[in-house]
Structure 1
Amino acid sequence: MSDIIFENNLIKVEIEPSQIPWLKIFTQEPIKEFSMCDKHLKQMIWEATDIIEKQMLQYFQCDKINIASFGNYMPHVHFHIMSRFKNDNYFPEPMWGEQQRDNNLVLPPLEPFYNAVALNLRSL
């Protein structure tokens, strides 16, 4: 499967390779800050985030969802949405933090999740 699971004229959703389920939402245009997005684009980003979060909770039965946006290295509006589990490598630390344990997660196949997210995002 491609790294991009959904895109339209305003946003794209990419897979972040990781030991946990992790997607990123990017604006199609290189916009530096969220406050610089117009109202319609902001709404689309939040609706996409909501769809992804709900799919992650339902499909993976994760313990927590993490949503992050930094952009220090890549000054382009994007959001990271991550399924977190109490037994993932880094929990309770952020995925950029210090590893807490070896990976012992057993996850369901990712492909059905990606397909469900893409299908739901088409409603945007």
Structure 2
Amino acid sequence: MKLYSLPKVTFLFIAISTLLSCNNDEKSNNTTPAAQLLGVWQSSNFSEMYDYKLYFNTKDEGYSTEYIAQPDGTAISNLRPFSWSSSETTLTIDYEDGASDATPFAINAAGQLLASGLSNLPFNKL
């Protein structure tokens, strides 16, 4: 059996080590806050009696929906369009009816949206 020369073995070791040390660090959390918000978020306290959702669409537009069942079997629901923007830690929502909310926000380790100015409870992404 022929032994490899020291320079060849060293080069092979360095090449394999370099390839194996590459990872997906760039993919870990390289998304912008706006990209993380895109989609539908449902309040974590939803039930068949109550539901509150936020819809963050592209083009910085969206809407919220709320459904409240009444004891008499009727229900109240609303749809509230808004435009939105975000920075690293602040979500700003400007409703079509003239109201505005600027609230700190974060996505926690469980993937839930925390926005204290909108709700004390987290939102789950659907």
Q: Same fold (TM over 0.5)?
A: no
Superposition TM-score, scaled by structure 2 size: 0.26
Larger relative contact order (Cα-Cα within 8 Å, sequence gap ≥ 6): 1
Superposition TM-score, scaled by structure 1 size: 0.27
Larger relative strand fraction? 2
Larger relative helix fraction? 1
